[in-house]
């Protein structure tokens, strides 16, 4: 596969995107989390796939970590199994774990890989289990300050990024499902936002981009939809205990990422077509940007670890 060639990103029929410093972004790794909500919409999935390929053409090294929560819930429902979340994490029985693995790696990932590969032989799907890429330990949820057993849910404790890095070096676009292996051989269900964050850290990624089904982090949800445009890690740390449902692991992932070397994390509205392209190439992203306490690490400041 030819080496990526950087250049302005022209997208016919769409508002012009002003790439701020494409030369500085060239060769940089960007981890993008694509959530299950956006995946349910064919047009959005196709637009996402095109964006990812365009980033590749612009010379970036995109890695996709996908979710699939709604798809798992629907399948559990069809099978007559319970659907329940605690603090934004699915309560995962051994039977549910089988379904999680089958739906994420066997179905949702195949569809996304197919959408990207409509543009060429780019995407290679893999699970966090593969080649010990993600190792997890069982975690509990905290509800009202108390630990709650949520079954086979994992927290990632180690990432070996070599397989993902090798794919990037071959000019591929890795598409990773958030399933991890425990050191004990047990398979764990990992929240996709936290999996994306852990992989971004291990790859020394420039950016973590999390797509969701709202405009960003709302300051006073559910009473208002005023989006917080930018916050530092310390500011987010203070807000975190007050966050609810799916926003909690998402923002926890952003915090972990910027506290561990990722230059910046953006939460963007995945319902907006081409959110990824606009979010990454525009100077100011339309959603919520989380920066390290000492400000964003901009491309060119230091060597990318990837
Ligand atoms: N402060 C907040 N700001 C925005 N959304 C919030 C907030 N707190 C909770 N939410 C909820 O979190 C949801 C996003 O999380 P989730 O459903 O897990 O998304 P995804 O499938 O994209 O990972 C929003 O749709 C909203 O209902
Ligand atoms: C532990 C846990 O909650 N895992 C998630 C994994 C998928 C996911 O995170 O998907 P979205 O990004 O689409 O929500 C789940 O079972 O739903």
| Contact between residue 52 and residue 19 where contact means Cβ atoms under 8 Å apart | no
Q: Per-residue pLDDT tens for 222-251?
A: 888 899 999 999 999 999 988 887 899 999
Ligand nearest to the CA of 91: 2
- State which H helix or E strand residue 237 sits in: helix 233-239
- Residues 99 and 120: their CA atoms lie apart, in Å, by 30
Report the separation in Å between the CA atom of 86 and the middle of ligand 1, taken as the mean of its atom positions.
Answer: 14
Question: Domain extents for the chain?
Answer: 22-291
Residue 277 or 126, more confident = 126
Q: Which of 220-224, 275-279, 283-287 has the lowest mean pLDDT?
A: 283-287
The SS3 of residue 63 is strand
pLDDT tens, residue by residue, 136-176: 999 999 888 899 999 999 999 999 999 999 999 999 999 99
Average pLDDT over residues 40-53: 92
Residue 96 in 3-state DSSP?
helix
Is residue 68 marked as binding? yes
Percent of the chain having pLDDT more than 70?
Answer: 89
Q: How far apart are CA 145 and CA 87, in angstroms?
A: 11
- Going by C-alpha positions, the residue among 84, 81, 97, 211 that lies closest to residue 154 is 97
Sign of CA dihedral 246, 248, 251, 252: negative
pLDDT for 19 equals 41
What Cα–Cα distance (Å) separates residue 193 from each residue in 14, 57, 146, 167, 208?
Answer: 28, 25, 23, 21, 10
Contact 151, 83 (CB under 8 A): no
d(CA 62, CA 280): 11
Residue 88 has pLDDT above 50, yes or no: yes
**Using CA atoms, how far apart are residues 18 and 304, in angstroms rounded to an integer?**
23
State the Rg of the chain over Cα: 18
Q: Which residues pair with 90 in a beta bridge?
A: 85
End-to-end CA distance of the chain: 19
pLDDT at 295 over 80: no
Q: Which residue puts its alpha carbon closest to atom 6 of ligand 2?
A: 191
Measure the CA–CA gap between 189 and 138, rounded to whole angstroms. 9
- Cα distance between residue 235 and residue 149, in whole Å: 29
- Whether 103 has a pLDDT exceeding 70, the answer reads yes
189 lines ligand 2 (CB under 6 A): yes
Element (H, E) at 149: strand 146-159
Q: What is the pTM of this model?
A: 0.90
Structure tokens at 44: 């959005």
Testing ligand 2's pocket by substitution, the residue of 192, 194, 197, 247 carrying the most ligand atoms inside 8 A of its CB is 192
Q: 148-173 burial, b for 16+ CB within 10 Å, e for fewer?
A: eebbbbbbbeebebebbbebbeeebb
- Above 70 in pLDDT, residue 299? no
Among the bound ligands, name the one nearest to the CA of residue 246. 1
Residue owning the nearest CA to atom 16 of ligand 1: 246
Q: What is the CATH number of domain 22-291?
A: 3.40.1160.10
Whether residue 27 is annotated as binding a ligand: the answer is no
With the most atoms of ligand 1 within 8 angstroms of its CB, the residue from 44, 108, 221 to mutate is 221
The Cα-based distances of 165 to 8, 55, 100, 107, 159 in angstroms read 25, 17, 26, 24, 12
């Amino acid at each position: 596969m030819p080496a990526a060639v950087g250049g302005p990103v022209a997208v016919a029929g769409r508002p012009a995107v002003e790439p701020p410093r494409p030369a500085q972004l060239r060769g940089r790794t960007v981890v993008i989390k694509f959530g299950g909500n956006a995946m349910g919409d064919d047009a959005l999935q196709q637009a996402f796939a095109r964006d990812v390929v365009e980033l590749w053409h612009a010379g970036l090294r995109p890695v996709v970590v996908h979710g699939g929560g709604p798809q798992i819930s629907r399948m559990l429902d069809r099978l007559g199994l319970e659907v329940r979340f605690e603090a934004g994490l699915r309560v995962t029985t051994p039977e549910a774990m089988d379904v999680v693995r089958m739906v994420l790696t066997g179905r949702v990932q195949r569809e996304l890989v197919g959408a990207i590969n409509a543009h060429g032989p780019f995407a290679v799907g893999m699970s966090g289990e593969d080649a010990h890429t993600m190792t997890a330990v069982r975690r509990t949820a905290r509800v009202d300050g108390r630990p709650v057993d949520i079954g086979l849910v994992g927290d990632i404790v180690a990432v070996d990024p070599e397989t993902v890095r090798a794919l990037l070096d071959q000019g591929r676009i890795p598409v990773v499902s958030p399933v991890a292996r425990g050191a004990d051989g047990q398979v764990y269900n990992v929240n996709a936002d936290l999996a994306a964050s852990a992989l971004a850290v291990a790859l020394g990624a420039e950016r973590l981009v999390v797509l969701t089904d709202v405009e960003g982090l709302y300051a006073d949800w559910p009473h208002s939809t005023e989006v917080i445009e930018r916050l530092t890690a310390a500011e987010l740390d203070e807000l975190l205990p007050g966050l609810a449902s799916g926003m909690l692991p998402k923002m926890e992932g952003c915090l972990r990422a910027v506290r561990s070397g990722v230059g910046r994390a953006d939460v963007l509205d995945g319902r907006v077509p081409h959110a990824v392209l606009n979010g990454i190439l525009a100077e100011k992203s339309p959603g919520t940007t989380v920066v390290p306490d000492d400000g964003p690490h901009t491309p060119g400041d230091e060597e990318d670890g990837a």
